[in-house]
Structure 1
């Protein structure tokens, strides 16, 4: 391992995440494929190698610092973009069955290529709007854990993501900025979507100045009412707020 990989490995080890040499090599392949494809489509504004390891890979794996991933079997990642956080989680925890939903087909093509290059199994990349996919029986109320990383405000994310979450499962919203105002705004949507706020985990990315992160953990308490999610586009235009 080179110094960047060694640092990445050691930071994760401190958090109880132990990566093999093969898994470290998968992250390096991920970096190379990401940068290669980023030249022809907009996947990330962060391409400097050390920053990708910290701000994308480490940040994605932060979910596992506060959640026992060995207790999770199925996860859905909504609006995954370049595969964050689900692909890093899959690399670190190969037992996971991962479903990725993204509305842009070019990103799904990238993700399918990436999955092939990383030799991952148990990853299903779906092109479509979350509001439409969540109405399919095979996905509705099905996943142990659902994630979304900096996609939209929480009141909107709840309607995108909670329909995928199984009862007593968790939706984890990954945020950068402070979340108190978003949580207050999202109270009505949580009630409507039969869920409750559990906790916000706050932490700093290593070796970074002013890189605060917040993980909002929500538990689903009952099946999603049939009227949700509303038709595609409506949650963004008219969020569930009062």
Structure 2
């Protein structure tokens, strides 16, 4: 059921197909629309996102979320095979909720430290009838040491967190060996890759690839970094709350 006062999202079937070799079915399209409406209405009470224009929302929240899990334009294969996925610092639910809508076989955990945002997401998951997603309130530095979370995930997603070394320290402890960390970035340089290498190495990972791409409507340059966990992360990581951001690994 759509809210008649809120505009319809563009379908963009052709762009989905060209960029991800996929397009949403009718049910997924409906859930994207429903998510958009929940965000627009939720924004009236909570500061969830400044992106509410339908085309901008489609590009920056839906397409961008899914492009991250589709390196080289193909979805990460094990996402369709009951993969355990965590979205760290999910905010209003991105990229986690669009991924959960698209990959119904994956088990999504949406982590945020802000109770109001988690409450909003809980309500949204009920409205969207998304049984493959659940929330967790907490800080990445703390849950990274929790037996329920440490070494439990196949994929860790992290978007809109500043420093890449910080993102690596938040994600790699949570991954099983062989798991993949996906770090969403705007700009990125070769020098940054070199300086990140040592931090990732300390955490038991390798930089598997860095992908540059442009967004389909505004031609903005974006990057995704893919880190593979190859050995166990030392028990001292992640460091205590606040330390990774104050003193990023180098």
TM-score (norm 1): 0.93
The alpha carbon displacement at 1:178 in A equals 2.0
**SS of 2:94's equivalent?**
coil
2:54 matches 1:55:
no
Unaligned 5+ runs, structure 1:
none
1:91-144 residue CA offsets vs partner (Å, 9 max, x unmatched)? 111111001111111111111111111100121211111011111111101111
- What is the match of residue 217 of structure 1? 226
- What is the match of residue 237 of structure 1? 246
Structure 1 residues 110 and 140, CA gap change in structure 2 (3 angstroms)? same
* Distance (Å, rounded) in 1 between the aligned partners of 2:221 and 2:139: 29
1:45-74 residue CA offsets vs partner (Å, 9 max, x unmatched)? 111111101111010010232222325611
1:26-105 to structure 2, matched below 5 A, reads 26-66=31-71, 67-68=76-77, 69-71=79-81, 73-105=83-115
- What is the match of residue 116 of structure 2? 106
- What is the match of residue 207 of structure 1? 217
TM-score (norm 2): 0.90
The alpha carbon displacement at 1:4 in A equals 4.6
The 8 Å contact of residues 96 and 122 in structure 1, kept in 2 or not, is answered as: yes
Q: 1:22 aligns with which of 24, 27, 52?
A: 27
**SS of 1:231's equivalent?**
coil
2:146 matches 1:136:
yes
Q: Which runs of 4+ in 1 moved over 6 A?
A: none
Alignment RMSD, CA only?
1.6
The alpha carbon displacement at 1:222 in A equals 1.1
- The total of aligned residue pairs comes to 238
2:131 matches 1:126:
no
Q: 1:167 aligns with which of 159, 165, 177?
A: 177
The alpha carbon displacement at 1:75 in A equals 0.6
* Distance (Å, rounded) in 1 between the aligned partners of 2:181 and 2:247: 21
Unaligned 5+ runs, structure 2:
1-6
The 8 Å contact of residues 154 and 183 in structure 1, kept in 2 or not, is answered as: no
The alpha carbon displacement at 1:5 in A equals 3.1
* Distance (Å, rounded) in 2 between the aligned partners of 1:132 and 1:85: 21
The 8 Å contact of residues 164 and 196 in structure 2, kept in 1 or not, is answered as: yes
